[in-house]
Amino acid sequence: MANKTVIIAIVNKAYVEGDKPMLDLFLDGFWLGEDTRGLISHLLLVAVDQTSFERCRFLHLHCYKLEADDHANFEAEKLYMSQEFIKMMWRRTLFLKDLLKRGYSFVFTDIDVMWLRDPFPRLNSFNESMDLQISADKFNGDQWSESNPINTGFYMVRSNNRTISLFERWYDRKNNSTGVKEQDVLDSMMHEGVFRELGLSVKFLDTLYFSGFCEVSKDFKAVTTIHANCCRTISAKVADLTAVIHDWKKFEILSNSNQTSSLKWTNHVNCEGSWKDFNVTLG
């Protein structure tokens, strides 16, 4: 964009293959959403393997091939909290740190986030004093409260010395955080007072607008994005996000006749079921 802001999403082979790949669903959101189609021109897809890079190029999107470090293989599905999942999250953080250092502000979005409305009017995108705006699994009602449980699957960060310092400190903790995902490390830093120490202006996004499966927005007229968080597998995410798309289409049809008051989101039964084996393993 004119102010050097870019939308970033990261894909691998597991996200671009199958009968209905996750990437296709992600792009469906931009096609079906309100005032979202033009945002595709500001989207950079970062591919972590050759298959996803070739798929991105085939779709005529803006594509970047990210080389894995430590000879890691990021092609297959990375199950939540697996060693490979954690490695991929840290590689993502390193890339985003480098992007900030090049002077680019960005909205980072997981590929399992449906963009149903243009989020920029709600992101204070032209407020130069806002350093970081980050989604929450559950919103406690206070957009400035550090007790909100953060989710790094959707956030906007402005490139400046404060945010670059944050990302440098964040990534520096990688080697001392074995078995801990990068989101939990950032959350720990927040509670240790690092945000305040760096003088960061941080806003936590209301789930009424920036919704997810952990806490679903009940207002179809307000919801901007829907994240398939609190979900473990790609197949479960695809099934339940497909239901989100169907619900959204139904809302658009009914909104023409003002009959949306009784409309509810379909229950996320596949994502709820995706935790069964994981919980058994933990137990």
Q: Which two tokens stand for residue 215?
A: 């806490």
pLDDT, residue 280, reads 39
pLDDT, residue 71, reads 53
pLDDT > 70 fraction of the chain, expressed in percent and rounded: 89
pLDDT, residue 70, reads 57
pLDDT, residue 223, reads 97
CA distance 276 to 283: 11
Find all residues with CB under 8 Å of 167, minimum gap 6, and list them: 93, 96, 97, 100
Question: Which amino acid, one-letter code, is at 111?
Answer: I
CATH class of 5-231: alpha beta
Q: What angle do CA 189, 193, 195 make, to 5 degrees?
A: 75
Range with the lowest mean pLDDT among 29-38, 83-92, 105-114, 155-164?
83-92
pTM higher than 0.85 for the full model?
A: yes
9-33 residue pLDDT tens: 999 999 999 899 999 999 999 999 9
- Check pLDDT > 90 for residue 201: yes
SS3 46: strand
DSSP letter string, 168-212: HHHHHTGGG-TT--HHHHHHHHHHTTHHHHTT--EEEPPTTTEEE
Cα→Cα distances 224→83, 200, 212, 264, Å: 32, 25, 10, 16
pLDDT, residue 126, reads 65
Asked whether 14 and 76 are in contact (CB, 8 A), the reply is yes
pLDDT, residue 207, reads 98
pLDDT, residue 278, reads 56
Cα→Cα distances 225→12, 97, 248, Å: 22, 24, 11
SS3 241: helix
Instruction: Name the band, by pLDDT with cuts 50, 70 and 90, for residue 82.
Output: low
111-159 residue pLDDT tens: 999 999 999 999 976 677 899 999 999 999 999 999 999 999 999 999 9
pLDDT, residue 67, reads 79
Question: Which amino acid, one-letter code, is at 84?
Answer: E
